[in-house]
Amino acid sequence: MSAGGSLVVRRQLGSKLRALRLKSGKKVADVVEAQIASRATVSRIEAGQTPVKMATVMALCWLYGADRDTTDELVGLAPGTQQEDWTELYAQAVVPDWFGLYVGLEQSAASLRCFDPELVHGLLQTEDYARAVIEADPRVTPDSVEERVRFRMDRQRRAFARQPDLKIVLGAGALSLVVDSTEVMAAQVAHIREVVDSGAAEVRVLPWSVGAYPMRGSFAILGFEDGEDPTVTFVEFSMGARYVERPDQVREYEDVFADLLGKAISVEESSS
């Protein structure tokens, strides 16, 4: 199974079980009353955030009145939810739960549309740039800095090895801000150009001249090949993130990204 595969299976199984529960007219309270799982566990299962035992899936299918074929299909997905994602090899201090979920989605997405107004996106950062950004937080120990840099480089290698459809828009400030030194920034810009020239990603820069734009803050829109795996928008903020899955809200982010991409210019133009 590919990197992040277990997360994809968890999401698919959770989505199918939730749809089955709603179709049957059962409420979470019914699951609790049947002593199959707690309210918190049902919530985590349906959100694709936890491994699920085959016996639990079988019991839920029984409660929801699923037929034999449906039960066999869903029970067959359960072992896939048990597999370890590569992000679990890193400590919680390096990859907190809220970001580990995103990386798992990123590593299985067929398309990624990302906007970062202030810093170079993590998938584009050089090792020196990444180290300087991480070191800027005085609470991070030297050992943790190096572990986070290693994780970021590992994340890049895995993402580019899959060759997803990757489009990134950077704010003008991302390339204007001098991180560490002018030499580090020059190497960073050169690296972005190499990524673009290789065809691994489309990277554009939103110039200062465009003025105000529809939305501020970093976000990423992740699309998946499986039609049952809905598009997700990841919205990052200080010490956390939210995951937007409602179709109407996802479309708003898609419209905003299309607007930003249309106004942005190439890296060559922005640095000339």
Q: What is the pLDDT of residue 99?
A: 78
Task: Tell me which H or E stretch contains 157.
Answer: helix 142-162
- Provide the pLDDT for residue 4: 42
67 with 105, same domain? no
Q: Are residue 109 and residue 223 in the same domain, yes or no? A: yes
- Dihedrals phi, psi of 10, to nearest 5 degrees: -60, -40
Residue where a domain terminates, one of 82, 105, 124: 82
172: domain CATH number?
3.30.870
Q: Are 130 and 230 within one domain? A: yes
Instruction: Please report which confidence band the pLDDT of residue 107 belongs to, taking 50, 70 and 90 as the band edges.
Output: confident
Look at 26-30, 112-116, 231-235, 239-243 and tell me which has the smallest mean pLDDT: 239-243
At residue 189, does pLDDT exceed 70?
yes
Q: Are residues 130 and 256 in the same domain?
A: yes
Higher-pLDDT residue of 207 and 87 is 207
pLDDT for position 219: 95
Mean of the pLDDT values across residues 168-178? 93
CA-to-CA dists, residue 254 to 203, 210, 211, 249, angstroms? 17, 19, 20, 9
- The answer to whether residues 100 and 49 belong to one domain is no
Quote the domain boundaries for residue 23: 5-82
Q: Are residues 172 and 123 in the same domain?
A: yes
Does one domain contain both 139 and 266?
yes
Share of the chain above pLDDT 90, in %: 55
Lowest mean pLDDT among 51-60, 102-111, 164-173: 102-111
Adjacent-strand bridge partners of 113: 167, 221
pLDDT at 226: 73
Query: Are residues 110 and 65 both part of a single domain?
Result: no
Alpha helix positions (H), 169-264? 172-176, 182-198, 247-263
Residues 6 or more apart whose CB falls under 8 angstroms from that of 77 comprise 9, 12, 13, 16, 57
Q: Are residues 68 and 132 in the same domain?
A: no
Across the chain, mean pLDDT equals 87
For 33-81, the pLDDT digits (tens) are 999 999 989 988 988 878 899 999 999 999 999 999 999 989 888 887 7
Entry pTM? 0.75
- Regarding whether 91 and 77 lie in a shared domain, the answer is no
| Edge-to-edge strand list for the sheet holding 265-266 | 240-244, 232-237, 219-223, 111-116, 165-171, 202-206, 265-266
- Per the DSSP assignment, residues forming a β-bridge with 220 are 114, 234
**Residues 44, 158 share a domain:** no
Whether residue 91 is found in the same domain as residue 63: no
- Answer whether residue 98 shows pLDDT above 90: no
87-91, 121-125, 211-215, 219-223: segment of lowest average pLDDT: 87-91
Q: How many domains does the chain have?
A: 2
Last residue of a domain, one of 54, 82, 110: 82
Query: Could you read off the pLDDT of 208-250 as tens digits, one per residue?
Result: 998 888 877 899 999 988 776 789 899 987 767 888 888 999 9
Q: What is the pLDDT of residue 101?
A: 75
